[in-house]
Structure 1
Amino acid sequence: MGGEDLPAASGAFILSGQAIAERLRIERENRGWSLSDLAERSGVSKAMISKIERCEASPTATVLGRLSGAFGLPLSVLLALAERADDRLSRMSDQPVWTDPETGYTRRAVSVPNGGLLELIEVTLPAGVRIPYPASAFAFQRQQIWLLSGQLDFSEGETLHHLAPGDCLELGPPSACVFFNPGAEPSRYLVALTRR
């Protein structure tokens, strides 16, 4: 019995220790936490977290529960993210699209759903539509906007940027912002996000 792998039940998916280790590292780094930070927040020793991330130790359910709690994630979500870690292709037919029922604004999540450091979102903003966001919406992320077609007026605090197709804008420090399409046609743009 020793270190032999047990056969999986028919149709079962076995989540690898490497996938869990990588997910834990990604979650920690996305938050800008050191090993010591995570240890303090979770009550799991820094040495144990380091061993888990290096695949030198397998976390118990109790340890995983403490780590997921420190991240503010249910354990099921943490494991689901680890399970999808190998997904590197996001087919257009599988990309979730949300449409604002009031304005017709659409938002397509382009990126693979593995919780990586970069998130890509395709937005279509109908003619004449204005979408405001508070500064708090930008507090934990960095963004760039790349206009693919149409026109876009982007207000960042007191600064107004008139974007034409092909223009790319990196947002500055968090401030109240407004996306506005002044044209007669829909504007289509890509938003690239990374966590601060």
Structure 2
Amino acid sequence: MSPTATASLRKESDVASDLLANDLRALRKSRGLTLAEIALKLGRSVGWVSQVERGLSTPSIGDLREFAALFGVPISLFFAHEAPVEAERGVVVRSGRRRTLGSSESGLVEELLSPDLGGSFEMLRSIFAPGAGMAKPVTRPTEEAGYVVSGGFDIEIDGTWHSLGEGDSFRFDHKPFRWRNPGTAPAVVIWVVSPPVY
């Protein structure tokens, strides 16, 4: 391999490492946890957690599983880092480079439309399978809003069900919610969450 190709691979690896570090830091901060609390929960030193968050240490797959469990996110969130063009990094997400979360078995697949997990909100493209639904309401410490791009989509907010169709939108703040797709086609919803939960 040529020195130029080796340098290019090293640079891409550094960018991916920086993106992972930024995401781990954003997840910790969005949950109001300190470095010491994370270290205690993972059974690691504060120094190690700090180095991971600064991109100076690379966590193992086992470590990433523990981070995913701790933050309540799918481990796949940590593996889809493609180094964007430098000028677009942290600003633009190309359609072919979205990070996909969830699986078709769960009835919900989400694509991260935001460039990373930093900032005060995240934007997702959520695809709800026909007949899928959330069994029990959940309450998150977030303000959330959505826009139905296609399909039929029902959402229960604070005990009241709302049937939405293409072009409809919703918003709620720190309220219990659950969803279902009553139709025979996938429902696509652009979902905004503040602060980020993924």
Question: Normalising TM by the smaller chain, what interval?
Answer: 0.5 to 0.7
- What is the rounded CA distance, in whole Å, between the counterparts of 2:66 and 2:186 in structure 1? 42
Structure 1 position 170 matched with structure 2 position 172: yes
- What is the rounded CA distance, in whole Å, between the counterparts of 2:46 and 2:40 in structure 1? 8
Contact 2:114 2:122 in 1 (8 A): no
Give the alignment of 1:74-113 within 5 angstroms: 80=79, 84=83, 86=89, 88-92=91-95, 109=111, 111-112=113-114
Letter in 1 for 2:147: W
Identity, % of aligned pairs?
17
Find the counterpart in structure 2 of residue 120 from structure 1. 124
Structure 1 residues 147 and 13: CA distance shift in structure 2, 3 A:
same
- What displacement does 1:191 show? 2.2
What is the RMSD computed on CA atoms of the aligned residues? Answer: 4.9
Structure 1 residues 163 and 169: CA distance shift in structure 2, 3 A:
farther
Contact 1:133 1:178 in 2 (8 A): yes
Question: 1:144-187: CA deviations, max 9, x gaps?
Answer: 22235676543347412244735323265345433446xxx997
Give the alignment of 1:1-196 within 5 angstroms: 9=6, 11-14=8-11, 15-16=13-14, 18-50=18-50, 53=53, 58-59=56-57, 64-65=59-60, 67-72=63-68, 80=79, 84=83, 86=89, 88-92=91-95, 109=111, 111-112=113-114, 114=116, 118-123=122-127, 131-135=132-136, 138=138, 142=142, 143-148=144-149, 152-156=153-157, 158-163=159-164, 165-170=167-172, 173-180=175-182, 189-193=189-193, 194-195=196-197
Q: Structure 1: where are the runs of 5+ without partners? A: 1-5
Find the counterpart in structure 1 of residue 72 from structure 2. none
How many aligned positions are there? 175
Q: Structure 2: where are the runs of 5+ without partners? A: 70-74
- What is the rounded CA distance, in whole Å, between the counterparts of 1:69 and 1:100 in structure 2? 21
- What is the rounded CA distance, in whole Å, between the counterparts of 2:8 and 2:158 in structure 1? 53
- What is the rounded CA distance, in whole Å, between the counterparts of 2:186 and 2:157 in structure 1? 21
Contact 2:157 2:172 in 1 (8 A): no
Structure 1 residues 122 and 50: CA distance shift in structure 2, 3 A:
closer
Contact 2:156 2:177 in 1 (8 A): no
- What displacement does 1:90 show? 2.8
Structure 1 residues 176 and 106: CA distance shift in structure 2, 3 A:
closer
SS in 2 for 1:68: helix
Greater mean alpha carbon deviation, residues 76-85 or residues 30-39: 76-85
- What displacement does 1:40 show? 0.3
Question: 1:18-71: CA deviations, max 9, x gaps?
Answer: 44542431342344422111110233322453455457xx32x5xx33753530
Structure 1 residues 114 and 13: CA distance shift in structure 2, 3 A:
farther
Find the counterpart in structure 2 of residue 3 from structure 1. none
Q: TM-score, normalised by structure 2?
A: 0.55
Structure 1 residues 150 and 27: CA distance shift in structure 2, 3 A:
closer
* Higher Rg: 1
Contact 1:35 1:50 in 2 (8 A): yes
